[in-house]
Structure 1
Amino acid sequence: MAGGVAFFQYGFIFTNLGLPDVRDDLAGRLLNFSRQARIQIPMNTRQFYIDGAWVNPLAGTELDVINPSNETVCATISLGGEADTQAAVEAARRAFDSWSESSKSQRLELMNRILEVYVSRSGEIAEAISQEMGAPVDMAASSQVGTGSYHIKAFIRALEAFEFERELRPNTPNDRILYQPIGVCGLITPWNWPMNQIALKVMPALASGCTMVLKPSELSPLSAMVFADILHEAGVPAGVFNLLNGDGAGVGTALSGHRDVAMISFTGSSRAGIAISKNAADGLKRVSLELGGKGANIVFADAAAEAVRDGVARCFNNTGQSCNAPTRMLVERSRYDEAVAQAKEQADNTAVDLAEKHGSHIGPLVSQMQYDKVQALIERGISDDGARLVAGGLGKPEGLETGYFVRPTVFADCNNDMAIMREEIFGPVLSMMPFDTEEEAIAIANDTDYGLTNYVQTGDAARANRLARRLRSGMVDMNGQARSSGAPFGGFKHSGNGREGGVWGLEEFLEVKAVGGWSSEIPEDSH
């Protein structure tokens, strides 16, 4: 793809800090921001955005947001309670009757205003993300913020083409299929790609006529609060969008079990997705889940020379904190030794540094808990699994004793029984193993609880297409080829059951109604 950009890992991996053509002038604004003085988050971070205003908590408890680069407090938020959840849901319920009847043109006008304000305030979002979850400032300004504008534009295009009322068939003039908003939606987003996931949920909910309560991760709430302020500035009607900070056990549980919430859209761990599904079951809610992954990157002997290097870089992107990272590299045996040497070299050359510094380095993990988890799995790979450690390993990089930094790590000679090949590590850790035949590669790749994204590297186009059909995952990327805007994002098995992006993302938030006896002589309304 032109500019060295591949659509990857919740958005973009920027080999030269390039941006896709859909960026318009956002790239220039962002890169100018990344060289300016640091920006302060404008709102009171202890408040919630409910019914069109920033309000004080009714039952909140305080929580410090930790900058993972230096382990200092960068903000203090409130975690909402049951009364706050009730207030937010009630505001969304009151707003639903009006917003659900809004026209497509009204929604498009609003979404275009949101995009305009988003671009103008992109620097604030990037600063918030860099502070709260440790994305290096240039990566935050390009990749992290760029995914938000990318998806806003994509949903504008999807809505422009979407027909909410359509014929069943050309020969059935008195039948109509109506697509109508499902109701109040609870949106629960993760910390690793904040704007990507918020845009993938909020924008199609708005476009479909739903109202909503957003609960961002308590680890990365600041960018979500800037986003709420952007929606307020753009003129989103009161109650249509509400933001409530909280943790999973509190606000997350209250939302997923609330009788007036018609749908939960959740992105996070498979464990949490199962818990949400169980809690929502009594209310027969629709539950859309985008969960974990353990992607296989299958490298055949005839793959491009840069396939291994690019695969390692993609694994380490965002410090490995992406559910669709290609963390299992399967290499055809005749190329395996060379691939291990290339992976070691790439890992050794991967710079790690503070998020506030400019450059193409990776930053820290998001929290002490995440750091401890990754260290434990690296230790397990060395001691229990018996894999061969060829790069990185335990401990922090030299000179980065403060902060949740890890060493880019590569294991070789793995097998699919090892924990490092089966568990989602969510850190810059790559596990490699050889294979002999195409059938064996497919069997290894599919031998996992997950099924989000798999990757194929080969010069044989027919083989690539065969693997794309047989790999059990919601997405397959081949030879670094980008998936186009509007393609559905989601997985099989423990990777979830929903789809985000494009027309599929809109349909997640819509009910389908079949009507008989429709009068085709009445002019269609503005939907």
Structure 2
Amino acid sequence: MEHKLNYIGGQWVPSMTGDTIEVTDPATMEIVASVPRGGRADASTAVDAASQAFPAWRDRSAYERSELLLRWHQLMMDNRERIAETMTMEQGKPLAEARGEAEYAADFVRWYAEEGKRIYGETIPARSSAKRILVLRQPIGVVAAITPWNFPAAMITRKAAPALASGCTCIVKPASQTPLTALLLAELAEEAGLPAGVFNVVTGDAREISDAFMQDSRVRKVTFTGSTEIGKQIMRGAADTVKAVSLELGGHAPVIVYDDADLRLAAEQTIASKFRNAGQTCVCANRIYVQDGIYDAFERELAERIAALKVGSGREPGTSIGPLIDEHAMHKVKEQVEEAVAKGARLVSGGRPVQPDQTRGFFYEPTLLGEVTPDMKIMQEETFGPVAPLIRFTADEEAIAQANDSRFGLAAYLFTSNITRAIRTAEQLEYGIVGINDGAPSTAQAPFGGFKESGLGREGGREGIEEYLETKYISIGL
């Protein structure tokens, strides 16, 4: 078993208390490593390091910062198999998916290495010839990034890359289930030559570490991906020192399949969205609205594809569905399926836990539910598991209204061959991301974020780096 250390101020260090957390492979339930159980003191030390490193990093030219980020990107690409294997070991996703995430994570570093050179100010005409008005964009300062377990690499670089490119310094607090990927990224950042204190990783007690971030006025920005409930706590905590906050929170993504859709494409893309990472993504399909005229045909198409999905360890060739992250996740999926069936949903396929060979983790069959109704829990709460519920609708307006009837507003999808229908629906959907005939719209160069209780701010694209900048107005009298 490996014994890892935190990366603070360019040094690899244990927690102040010497306590550790065991990291478990969710497919086998074997302990694979230990990491420091950091707390308030460890977080404060990381803030010290990031705060001390900030002035020199801020004052480097955008081109110098870009060169270092590009080195980090190249090392991530050179080590993508190692990153992928680490993610599969600690998070459980199939190795093919983990390889895709490793490259996706590296894309953010490359994108922002270039975008950091395009932070522009402006000169504004003054009313008087004796004045000049300048507007500067400057880095906000020390950034604390709190990241989730379901995408252990990409959720770090999506935050850290724009922060570093803009001139901020960064402290990452990864999820305790998946800290090894974060520490590997820190190892590669160190090898790339990022100066001490610019990029730090602290593992340990989430409450103690986040409280330390919130109470320290030197932390000027907190960026978080996770549940809406924890996001609200972070908003409250940030109020005392008036920190900037970016929140990428829960989702409950609707899919609308119109009667003129290409059914094979719609089924393929819905499967890709729904069952990626065993359904443990914030943008995966959660409510699938299918128009009456094609409902039966679409259900058959979906059922055939679901039957071909292999459940097993992420290391096994051909695996499509890996384990759920823990027992709580399993309980939630089982409860939603059982409640839906009890209320009249039709179990088309799946619907039970399974135990593939050579595994001991929490595996659930890819499941298809038919004739689901809005009163069922699965229609109101994020599932975070491999369950696809189908709902009939008749009129376009009905589907759009039901899709919007949610406190969440992160991602939505629609399938149609009619461009007018596509544009009108996309404009009416109350979601920050809309995929038209596309079940995987996320990309480094486009803004990612939600409406309503799905969060604040955007990650990715030009908008992503704006989240780490302050605007300064300078008036010059001549």
8 Å contact kept, 1:126–1:140: yes
1:356 aligns with 2:307: no
Q: CA deviation at 1:169?
A: 6.0
Other-structure match for 2:297: 338
- Give the 5 Å matches for 1:282-301: 282-301=240-259
* Partners of 1:295 and 1:247 in 2: CA distance: 31
* Partners of 1:370 and 1:277 in 2: CA distance: 25
* Partners of 1:158 and 1:410 in 2: CA distance: 42
Q: CA deviation at 1:514?
A: 1.4
Other-structure match for 2:345: 387
Q: Which letter does structure 1 place at the counterpart of 2:467?
A: E
Given the superposition, is the C-alpha separation of residues 402 and 51 from structure 1 closer, same or farther in structure 2, using an over 3 Å criterion? same
* Partners of 2:398 and 2:57 in 1: CA distance: 53
Q: Which letter does structure 1 place at the counterpart of 2:278?
A: T
- Give the 5 Å matches for 1:63-462: 63-141=21-99, 143-163=100-120, 165-168=121-124, 174-306=132-264, 307-383=266-342, 385-396=343-354, 399=357, 402-462=360-420
Other-structure match for 1:506: 465
Q: Which letter does structure 2 place at the counterpart of 1:325?
A: C
Given the superposition, is the C-alpha separation of residues 117 and 429 from structure 1 closer, same or farther in structure 2, using an over 3 Å criterion? same
* Partners of 1:169 and 1:460 in 2: CA distance: 47
Identity among equivalent positions (%) equals: 37
Question: In angstroms, what is the RMSD of aligned CA positions?
Answer: 1.9
Q: Which letter does structure 2 place at the counterpart of 1:154?
A: W
| Between 396-405 and 420-429, the greater mean CA deviation after superposition | 396-405
1:487 aligns with 2:446: yes
SS at match of 1:174: strand
Per-residue CA shift, 1:140-190, capped at 9, x if unaligned?
12x121111221222123223332x32236999822111111111110011
8 Å contact kept, 2:312–2:322: yes
* Partners of 1:201 and 1:186 in 2: CA distance: 9
Q: Which letter does structure 2 place at the counterpart of 1:344?
A: A
* Partners of 2:367 and 2:125 in 1: CA distance: 56
8 Å contact kept, 2:67–2:113: no
SS at match of 2:310: coil
- Residue segments in structure 2 that go unaligned for 5+ positions in a row: none
Aligned residues: 474
* Partners of 2:261 and 2:208 in 1: CA distance: 48
Q: CA deviation at 1:294?
A: 0.7
Q: Which letter does structure 2 place at the counterpart of 1:208?
A: S
* Partners of 1:149 and 1:209 in 2: CA distance: 19
Per-residue CA shift, 1:2-55, capped at 9, x if unaligned?
xxxxxxxxxxxxxxxxxxxxxxxxxxxxxxxxxxxxxx97xx41x210111101
* Partners of 1:400 and 1:280 in 2: CA distance: 45
* Partners of 1:262 and 1:438 in 2: CA distance: 45
Q: Which letter does structure 2 place at the counterpart of 1:382?
A: V
Per-residue CA shift, 1:113-136, capped at 9, x if unaligned?
111211222222111101000011
SS at match of 2:218: coil
Given the superposition, is the C-alpha separation of residues 396 and 169 from structure 1 closer, same or farther in structure 2, using an over 3 Å criterion? farther
* Partners of 2:345 and 2:429 in 1: CA distance: 25
* Partners of 1:427 and 1:406 in 2: CA distance: 8
* Partners of 2:361 and 2:185 in 1: CA distance: 27
* Partners of 2:359 and 2:54 in 1: CA distance: 51
SS at match of 2:263: coil
- Residue segments in structure 1 that go unaligned for 5+ positions in a row: 1-39, 520-527
* Partners of 1:423 and 1:436 in 2: CA distance: 24
Structure 2 length normalisation: TM-score?
Answer: 0.95
Q: CA deviation at 1:408?
A: 0.4
8 Å contact kept, 1:117–1:230: yes
Per-residue CA shift, 1:382-413, capped at 9, x if unaligned?
23x43221111122156476211111011111
* Partners of 1:96 and 1:398 in 2: CA distance: 49
Structure 1 length normalisation: TM-score?
Answer: 0.86
Q: Which letter does structure 2 place at the counterpart of 1:455?
A: Y
Given the superposition, is the C-alpha separation of residues 325 and 438 from structure 1 closer, same or farther in structure 2, using an over 3 Å criterion? same
* Partners of 1:96 and 1:162 in 2: CA distance: 18
Q: CA deviation at 1:91?
A: 0.7
* Partners of 2:89 and 2:125 in 1: CA distance: 53
Given the superposition, is the C-alpha separation of residues 60 and 181 from structure 1 closer, same or farther in structure 2, using an over 3 Å criterion? farther
SS at match of 2:338: helix
Given the superposition, is the C-alpha separation of residues 349 and 177 from structure 1 closer, same or farther in structure 2, using an over 3 Å criterion? same
